[in-house]
Amino acid sequence: MSTRTLAVVTAGLGRPSSPRMLADRLATASTDALDEQGVDTQVEVIELREHAHDLANNMVTGFPGPALAAAIRTVEQADGLIAVTPIFSASYSGLFKSFFDVLDDGALAGKPVLIAATAGTPRHALALEHAVRPLFAFLRAVVVPTAVFAATEDWGAAGVGDHPLTERVGRAAGELTALISGTGRRSATPDPFDSPTPFEQLLAG
């Protein structure tokens, strides 16, 4: 059985937190799907609240502490990433953004990523598409089509039957594991500007 590493980054502030609860569900669904494909999974969870001080220091000094450096290596070396943020003021939290701000350029390039978020009201659901997805697109990650949002009201029956949250968790996990295991498309369409025609050749007709 082959082995893959799945990094889970969650930016919840409490303990327990709704982002962590959603991250755990996504990680479980993903490992179950990979297990069905004969792929063993090692899950590494990074609670950003534990690195808040190191992140602030890194932002002003340019150097991570040992614990933060280890968390960064975990994300950089993982075969896939689940990233979950609480939504504050219609966008990702500052703690969540700070972590991805300190990654080296290109650290997430080509990496399969599942994005998810939690909030107190469904009015914040579109934050995943207008804030979180563009962030990871800029970082050149391969973001799965299905993003998972959970409002407070979703938790009551989220583990029962065909509840919409349960369905979205399963679908998103399936998309992520297809990329990790190599059965799905991992890279975007090649950029035609990567291999431009030499100027001299254009002049020669």
Q: Is the peptide bond before 64 cis (omega within 30 degrees of 0)?
A: no
Name the strand (E) or helix (H) holding 43.
Answer: strand 39-47
- Count of positions (residues) in the chain: 205
Across the chain, mean pLDDT equals 88
Q: How far apart are CA 18 and CA 4, in angstroms?
A: 26
Q: How many CB atoms lie within 10 A of CB 35?
A: 13
pTM for the predicted model, two decimal places: 0.85
- The pLDDT value recorded for residue 123 is 87
Please write the tens of the pLDDT for every residue from 10-38.
999 988 899 999 999 999 999 999 999 88
Q: Give, in words, the CATH class of 2-203.
A: alpha beta
1 band by pLDDT with thresholds 50, 70 and 90: low
Q: Closest Cα partner for 175 from 82, 108, 88?
A: 82
Burial of 81 (C-beta count, 10 Å sphere; 0-12/13-18/19+): buried
Look at 200 and 151; give whichever has higher pLDDT.
Answer: 151
pLDDT band at 193 (very low <50, low <70, confident <90, very high): very low
* 34-61 average pLDDT score: 95
